[in-house]
Structure 1
Amino acid sequence: MTSLLSRFGATSLTARVALGVTFLLTFGGIIVSIAAFAYGREAARSAYDRLLVGAANDIASAITVVDGNPVLELPHSAFELLALAPDDRIGYRIVGPNGQTLTGYDDIALPAGLSGYSDVFFDGAFFGEAARYVVVSRRFAERTWSGTIRVAVGQTLQARNAMAVDITRKALYVLAASGLAMMLLAVLVVRAVFNPLKRIAGGLAERDPHDLTPLDTDVPRETAVMIQALNAFMGRLDRQMNSMRHLISDTAHQLRTPVAALRAQADLFSDEEDPERKDRIVERIQTRSASLGRLLDQMLSQALVIHRGDSVRREKIDLRDVVLDVFEEGDHAVLRPDIAVVPQLADQPVYVLADTTSLQEAVKNLLSNALKYGRAPVRIGATTENGVASIWVEDVGGGPDPEILSALGTRFNQSGLSRQNSSGLGLAIAHAVARSFEGQLVLDTHGDRTFRAALCFPEIKAEAA
């Protein structure tokens, strides 16, 4: 069964459409055949029933009363009508008022409870063969004789069945011809419909491997959905490749100076003979190594959040949980054990659509900046106001330098490595996370008293999430 499904999945769309049309025509053909046969039977019955009624009326009209007795001379016209079904056997019976057979076959049994003068049809047998009958009544009110005479005329069903089969056969001929035409038309239409896909495939095959610009969307509406999805995918891939190129470029740009400085200090250490100067050189090497390690951590963190912003599925997240996760990890206690960090959470859930890991990285960087360059008290919290959900870090301080804020969101804004100032890179990470999830990084400064860095996102309701 699995191999059959796999083979079917590898078939062409044209073959699938042809198979589907064949199935529909087969199923529809069965239904139409049944309907055609039923219609043929009804048409044949109606046609030959009229012949029976005409023959019976001819016979009934030929009955006369002579000397107080009904007399019948069978008319030739009645048998000429019935002769239109030459292969069928004919039977008739004329019944008097008391149920006695005046003439005809006694084996023809009339249905019980006949009353009135309307024509009555019934199915019966004629010497063991299925037959169809009609009963016609005629009322006599003569001076010498009165009563009702019933004339029953019937014939076997060979002509009826042959007519029903003929109607069905002709209907099937028309169905087969129209079905074949529909299949050919379906194949042609499918091939025409798939021409845009061939154009798209040709355009992709001719493209340079590094060309990730959007494809032309001047295609039919049904195909445009696929083109839009493909363009979105290529856009994400382009952003990923750009992020990789920028990461490599930024790494080379940022590490060139500190690595050269470390090499220079190492050369000085190897040539220095004064123990005190050697100790100072070792201290500078340790300081620069620690600064270089922090820079590498932040650059890898930035690459992580940029990658996850495009590749990780967004989920409903309560920002209060992010705050608690960052607080409970306790990195702040290792970085600055002398500064207390106070969590401040809203009473109700603060839901957003984002990625937990990316938000944690952003908040950790904001908290690290606050601990390094701000002043106590430091607060971290999640609140919502006017449909905007925020996760923020607040300290008592003036915030980053104006040149760092002006370069926010641009490349190579991680300046000041030699001065061991990486607040710009921490804000760049937070800015990248906010932008990845349709949010923004909001920096509020109030003189020299309070500075708040907040990631703001559109809030989603709990029932809509």
Structure 2
Amino acid sequence: MLLSDLRLSLRFRIVAVLSAVLAAGAILLGFAAWHSSSLAAQQAYDRLLAGGAVQIAENVYVQGGVVTVEPPVSTIATLAAYDLVFYKVVDPRGVVVAGYDDLASDADPVDIRAGVVLEDGLYQGQPVRIATLARQIELPGTNNWATIIVAQTTEARRALARDLTLKALGVIAAMSLLALIATAYAVTLALQPLMRIEREIASRRPDDLRPIAAEPPVEIRNLVQAIDDFMRRLSERMAIMQRFIADAAHQIRTPLAALDAQVEILLATPASRRKADTVKRIHERTAELGRLTGQLLDHAMVIHRKDAAATAAVDLNELAKSVLAKTVPLSLPREVDIAFIPAEPPPIVNGDAVSLREALGNLIDNALKHGAESRLVVTVGEDAEHAWIDVADDGEGFPAPPADLLRPFAKGPASSGSGLGLSIAMEVAKAHGGELAVWRDGWMTRVRLSLART
């Protein structure tokens, strides 16, 4: 696996994040273990030191008017078994009666009379822990308080703290490693549903766009539903394109066959008037084939742009005016009064201007070729929910029910068109949240391209 693939791996990311979390936790626990171990070692040795100071204090007494002390050998031996031990006994007069004269304590005299006071200090260049205690004795002419100071070096304490810390760190490291292994295994198990979904998709044929059968985990259920929805839309789009291709192939065969037949007739006919008629029919067939090819391409373009094209604000007044000017030819075989009625204020819709031009162009072209006898009116309007463009003509209306003519390649019995104009307009209307409506209004036939407002 390449490094880039490894970085994109979900398993690698989860394990890496958990490793970082476990490492940070191990460091924090290590500091906590060191602090707890140091505190435990301090407390353990402090109890021994305080107990030693109390035992020495219990062996301080007055004999013949002089303060005397008999250091308990066993106590000092116990303390000395771990570290160096120093002590000093001072009688109520301030005279050192035993121990090291230069051993000193900073403990408050009031505090040491209430109990043992422990403190850190430095003696003979070594860090020591000092226990100070005052004992009341009867000695006339004094304050009757003798002071006992016991000091012990701290090497054994540090050694015990290190030993406890290392053992705790070993446990933390072992638990972190086990947690990491368990996490990696758990991630592998958790990714099994994804691997099943991957195998199911990989084993399918290219045309198999059924919903995924494998039951997804809750965390990726929305993702799988989005994939299923995408495959459904793709299947619908493929079905539309396949049907369109099949219909287009069928429709193109007819004018091509007719054109081929006319060419054969032309080749077999001597130069005469019939030859001119054949050339005319060839011209008509060629124009019909050109119109059909153009509308097939327009239909394919509309289907493609339905979900792919970016939308923008479109002024329907400007759109209708420009399409009308471009679609109406400079000369018509009959006199047709053409009118344009804009809306005030201009309706604005969010849509694809290219598709809207194609749809409106087809409606105007249909009205001019198959409907309008003397009048064509293009009207723009709007209400609270929709904006629309009406194309009305004074023709005789449609030769078949409008619902039948909205299907691709559907046309009247006497029509020479391709049967795609209304179908293209309907597809564009649906893509813009609207509809295509056809009805007879008095002596006018109206086709309304309705669009959802922004």
Q: Same fold (TM over 0.5)?
A: yes
Structure 1 position 419 matched with structure 2 position 418: no
CA 1:114 to 1:243, structure 2 compared with 1: closer, same or farther past 3 Å?
farther
Instruction: Judge conservation of contact 2:137–2:144 (CA < 8 Å) in 1.
Output: yes
Give, as a single letter, the amino acid of the residue that structure 1 aligns with 2:377.
P
Superposition pairs for residues 128-207 of structure 1, below 5 Å?
Answer: 128-138=125-135, 144-207=141-204
Q: 1:324 aligns with which of 296, 314, 318?
A: 318
TM-score, normalization by structure 1: 0.79
Instruction: Tell me: CA distance 1:87–1:279, structure 2 relative to 1, closer, same or farther (3 Å).
Output: same
Unaligned residue ranges in structure 1 (runs of 5+): 461-465
Residue in 2 that maps onto 1:379: 379
Q: State the distance in 2 between where 1:313 and 1:65 align.
A: 109
Q: Which amino acid aligns with 2:450?
A: L
Aligned twin of 1:91:
86
Measure the CA separation in 2 of the matches of 1:162 and 1:21.
33
Aligned match for 1:256, one of 243, 248, 253:
253
Structure 2: segments with no counterpart, 5+ residues: none
The code of the aligned residue for 2:158 comes to: N
Q: Distance in 1 between matches of 2:250 and 2:428?
A: 23
Tell me how far 1:409 sits from its aligned partner: 5.7
SS of the aligned residue for 1:135 comes to strand
| Mean CA deviation greater in 63-72 or 120-129 | 63-72
Report deviation, 1:453.
1.5
Question: CA 1:391 to 1:87, structure 2 compared with 1: closer, same or farther past 3 Å?
Answer: farther
Superposition deviation, residue 427 in structure 1: 2.3
Q: Shift of residue 141 of structure 1?
A: 7.3
Larger Rg belongs to: 2
Q: Secondary structure at the match of 1:93?
A: strand
Matched residue, 1:463: none
* TM superposition shift of 1:230: 3.1
Amino acid at match of 2:27: I
Contact 2:34–2:165, Cα closer than 8 Å, also in 1: yes
Is residue 335 of structure 2 the alignment partner of residue 339 of structure 1? no
Q: CA deviation at 1:264?
A: 3.7
Deviates more, 1:430-439 or 1:292-301: 430-439
**Counterpart code for 1:431:** M
Deviation at 1:40, TM superposition (A): 0.9
Give how far 1:245 is off. 2.0
Correspondence 1:299 to 2:296: yes
Q: Give deviations 1:80-135, integer Å, cap 9, x for gaps.
A: 6525xx23111223456676645433443423766434644322223222222233
Shift of 1:215: 1.9
Residue 290, structure 1, aligned to residue 290, structure 2: no
Question: Are the structure 2 counterparts of residues 258 and 367 from structure 1 closer, same or farther at C-alpha, using a change threshold of 3 Å?
Answer: same
Alignment partner, residue 8 of structure 1: 6
Q: Which moved more, 1:287-296 or 1:325-334?
A: 325-334
Looking at structure 1, the residues matched to 438 and 65 of structure 2 have their Cα atoms a distance apart, in angstroms, of 125
> What amino acid is the match of 2:362?
N
| Change beyond 3 A, Cα 1:247–1:79 | same
Give matches, 1:415-454, under 5 Å: 415-416=411-412, 419-421=415-417, 424-436=419-431, 438-443=433-438, 446-449=441-444, 451-454=446-449
Range moving further from structure 2, 104-113 or 291-300: 104-113
Q: State the distance in 1 between where 2:225 and 2:184 align.
A: 27
Match of 1:227 in 2: 224
Offset, 1:444: 5.9
Matched, 1:108 2:103: yes
Is 2:41 the partner of 1:47?
no
Q: Is the 8 A contact 1:443 1:454 kept in 2?
A: no
Q: CA deviation at 1:205?
A: 4.0
Using the size of structure 2 for normalisation, the TM-score is: 0.81
Q: Distance in 1 between matches of 2:135 and 2:49?
A: 16
Shift of 1:253: 1.7
Query: Are the structure 2 counterparts of residues 208 and 347 from structure 1 closer, same or farther at C-alpha, using a change threshold of 3 Å?
Result: closer
Q: Deviations over 1:395-439 (max 9, x none)?
A: 3557962735213664443x34962345x5222123223434554
